[in-house]
């Protein structure tokens, strides 16, 4: 049933289409702008000899088979549960149809571009990267490239207002970039923020001594430290054993760098037994690692990944670049992160971390649907290879800004977030306080407009919608993929930045916390010579429910409304609830 529910992510089987030079006489516009997107102005024309990298994403031929395999190996009741695919097996399933590869290659060659310039970054050969001149790209795409400058950020990009493809190639190509998708690399949105109203521990003094148990126990309702979180989610007494086989990955963007010195200070203050433990940085596509500019977001992610999962190895990915973008009122500049660059890199690796967390997100409507679909399908490959992918659900409740749709209608609707809305990732919402925990008011949650609701969610989400009734009718898609899936504390995190503690909040904090807990659960399974958990959503919505703390109060206002309300069972504020490690450990050890 679920396979039919996500056909928006799957493209039709490609039939044979022999190369025909008459294609060039039958060009069809793939996308065009009637007017320049808001915030941009034309700057100048590039030299015809100016070169740039063109990405041509090809249709993945057996994606439906890969999705079917993923669902089987992720279903705890299926005989294939836990039998993850190898890199080679996943690549074989996403290889384009031979006719697709031949047609696209012949089309490119017909423009005088030698095949020696083709680069296939992954073994699946599902996309071609090639360095082209402006003149070559304009001939291929019937386009006119210009330099454009963003008025607020000052960033300059190379784009075209319109581009076309031969009509016979339209079924063979998913994405061509850069073309008409305007964007800037600055001001991308991370899902964290400083909380000056939460008095940090030792805010103004250099950190010298570890915090006492007395301070921990008296302050955990207002602030969060590794000790608070380990106690709340029952990981304190677990000692990892499979450090040689287990890794936690943290994906970072926006020129965010984890500071090594700050990590050591954090360890001395909050996890003294981890002093000397380090996290390597992998730099991708121009990602930097400037130790003189510690990033709050990166320090948060790394410090709490280590603070909870220690001594499990962690790795930080610093990724540069920028993907396609469509502006809306909440995201006036390109806040999309370069998922494509990072995914291309990680999928090409022979081994990848068993858990990966990302604390960034965008309004779904600012991400072109073809780009979002392509990215969502790439997450299928990670899950099939046994990796659990967590994304923070966002910090704007049901939507920030004026919540106007950017299709010209000026309708006000709830704004779901991406990639949290992708059904192949696990979205993490936020909570606050203890005894009891409640849904925090900024926790992103809602229903996708791009992706339909997967079968693994049908029961719990349907129950919520029945209880909701006609409330907010027309402001969200009741048939969409619902998120978040799970939640964790999202306020008062004590983070060391530049040698001092600051208080940080956001689902950016929730996601690495949950990721570290599930990394420990993978340690449990690996130490028992079992497979990793991989794509966990089917597990969460079935046999893992007793291992979660149901959150029954709180709401996520936005778009000039009170937003959704947390209740018993699944809800669009906290998902299924927060993790209880000891109970989950028993459930996944059986």
Per residue in 502-527, is it b (16+ CB within 10 Å) or e — as a string? bbbbbbbbbbbbbbbbbbbbbbbbbe
Catalytic residue among 64, 126, 136, 301: 301
CA distances from 139 to 25, 136, 144, 162, 231 (A): 12, 5, 9, 13, 62
φ, ψ dihedrals at 119, nearest 5°: -130, 125
3-state secondary structure of 172: helix
Give every CB contact of residue 24 below 8 A, 6+ residues apart in sequence: 110, 166
Give every CB contact of residue 79 below 8 A, 6+ residues apart in sequence: none
3-state secondary structure of 129: strand
Give catalytic status of residue 26 as yes or no.
Answer: no
Catalytic residue among 174, 255, 267, 297: 297
Give catalytic status of residue 301 as yes or no.
Answer: yes
Catalytic residue among 421, 503, 508, 555: 508
Tell me if 331 sits within 8 A of 362, measured CB to CB: yes
In 3D, which of 224, 225, 301, 226 has the Cα closest to residue 257?
Answer: 301
Tokens representing 139 are 């001939």
24, burial (CB in 10 Å: exposed 0-12, middle 13-18, buried 19+): middle
Between CA 184 and CA 157 the distance in angstroms is 7
183, burial (CB in 10 Å: exposed 0-12, middle 13-18, buried 19+): buried
Residue 430 labeled ligand binder: no
First vs last C-alpha separation in the chain: 27
Distance of CA 300 to the CA centre of its chain: 17
Between CA 491 and CA 501 the distance in angstroms is 14
Between CA 174 and CA 126 the distance in angstroms is 10
Residue 69 labeled ligand binder: no
Between CA 147 and CA 151 the distance in angstroms is 13
Tokens representing 231 are 């106690």
Between CA 334 and CA 323 the distance in angstroms is 9
Residue 569 labeled ligand binder: yes
Residue 523 labeled ligand binder: no
Residue that is written with structure tokens 């302050």 in the block: 219
Tokens representing 148 are 């454009």
Between CA 251 and CA 322 the distance in angstroms is 14
DSSP secondary structure code for residue 85 in this structure? P
Between CA 197 and CA 3 the distance in angstroms is 47
Between CA 84 and CA 383 the distance in angstroms is 8
Between CA 45 and CA 30 the distance in angstroms is 22
φ, ψ dihedrals at 239, nearest 5°: -115, 110
Binding-site entries: 550-551, 569, 571
Instruction: Return binding residues for Ca(2+).
Output: 550-551, 569, 571
Positions marked active-site: 297, 301, 508
């Amino acid at each position: 049933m679920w396979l039919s529910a996500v056909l928006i992510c799957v493209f039709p089987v490609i039939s044979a289409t022999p190369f025909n030079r008459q294609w060039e006489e039958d060009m069809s516009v793939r996308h065009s702008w009637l007017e320049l997107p808001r915030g941009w102005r034309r700057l100048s024309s590039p030299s015809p000899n100016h070169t740039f990298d063109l990405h041509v994403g090809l249709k993945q031929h057996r994606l439906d088979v890969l999705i079917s395999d993923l669902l089987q190996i992720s279903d705890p009741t299926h005989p294939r549960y836990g039998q993850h695919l190898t890199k080679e097996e996943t690549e074989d399933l996403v290889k384009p149809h031979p006719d697709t590869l031949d047609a696209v290659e012949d089309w490119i060659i017909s423009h005088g571009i030698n095949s020696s310039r083709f680069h296939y970054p992954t073994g699946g050969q599902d996309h071609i990267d090639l360095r082209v001149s402006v003149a070559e790209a304009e001939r291929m795409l019937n386009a006119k490239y210009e330099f454009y400058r963003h008025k607020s950020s000052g960033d300059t990009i190379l784009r075209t207002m319109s581009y076309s493809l031969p009509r016979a190639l339209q079924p063979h190509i998913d994405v061509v970039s850069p073309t008409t998708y305007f964007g800037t690399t600055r001001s991308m949105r991370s899902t964290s923020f400083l909380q000056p109203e939460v008095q940090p521990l030792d805010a103004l003094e250099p950190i010298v001594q570890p915090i006492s148990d007395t301070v921990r126990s008296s302050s955990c309702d207002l602030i969060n430290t590794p000790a608070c979180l380990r106690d709340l989610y029952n990981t304190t007494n677990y000692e990892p054993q499979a450090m040689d086989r287990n890794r936690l990955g943290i994906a970072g963007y926006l020129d965010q760098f984890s500071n090594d010195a700050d990590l050591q200070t954090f360890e001395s203050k909050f996890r003294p037994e981890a002093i000397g433990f380090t996290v390597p940085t992998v730099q991708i596509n121009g990602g930097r690692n400037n130790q003189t500019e510690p990033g709050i977001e990166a320090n948060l992610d790394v410090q709490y990944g280590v603070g909870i999962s220690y001594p499990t190895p962690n790795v930080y990915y610093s990724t540069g670049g920028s993907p396609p973008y469509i502006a809306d009122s909440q995201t006036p500049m390109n806040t999309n992160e370069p998922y494509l660059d990072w995914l291309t890199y990680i999928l090409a690796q022979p081994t990848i971390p068993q858990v990966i967390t990302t604390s960034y997100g965008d309004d779904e409507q600012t991400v072109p649907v073809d780009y979002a679909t392509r990215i969502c399908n790439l997450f299928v490959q990670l899950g099939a290879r046994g990796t659990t992918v967590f994304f923070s659900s966002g910090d704007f409740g049901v939507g920030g800004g004026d919540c106007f749709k950017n299709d010209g209608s000026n309708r006000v609707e709830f704004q779901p977030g991406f990639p949290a809305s992708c059904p192949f990732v696990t979205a993490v919402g936020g909570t606050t306080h203890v005894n009891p925990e409640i849904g925090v008011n900024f926790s992103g949650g809602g229903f996708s407009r791009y992706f339909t609701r997967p079968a693994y969610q049908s029961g719990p989400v349907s129950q919520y919608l029945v209880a909701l009734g006609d409330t907010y009718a027309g402001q969200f898609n009741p048939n969409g993929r619902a998120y978040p899936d799970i939640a964790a504390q999202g306020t008062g995190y004590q983070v060391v930045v530049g040698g001092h503690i600051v208080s940080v909040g956001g689902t950016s904090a929730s996601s690495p916390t949950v990721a570290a807990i599930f990394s420990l659960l993978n340690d449990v399974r690996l130490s028992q010579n079992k497979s990793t958990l991989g794509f966990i959503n089917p597990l969460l919505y079935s046999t893992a429910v007793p291992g979660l703390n149901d959150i029954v109060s709180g709401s996520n206002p936005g778009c000039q409304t009170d937003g959704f309300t947390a209740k018993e069972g699944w809800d669009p504020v906290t998902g299924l609830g927060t993790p209880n490690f000891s109970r989950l450990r028993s459930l996944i050890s059986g």
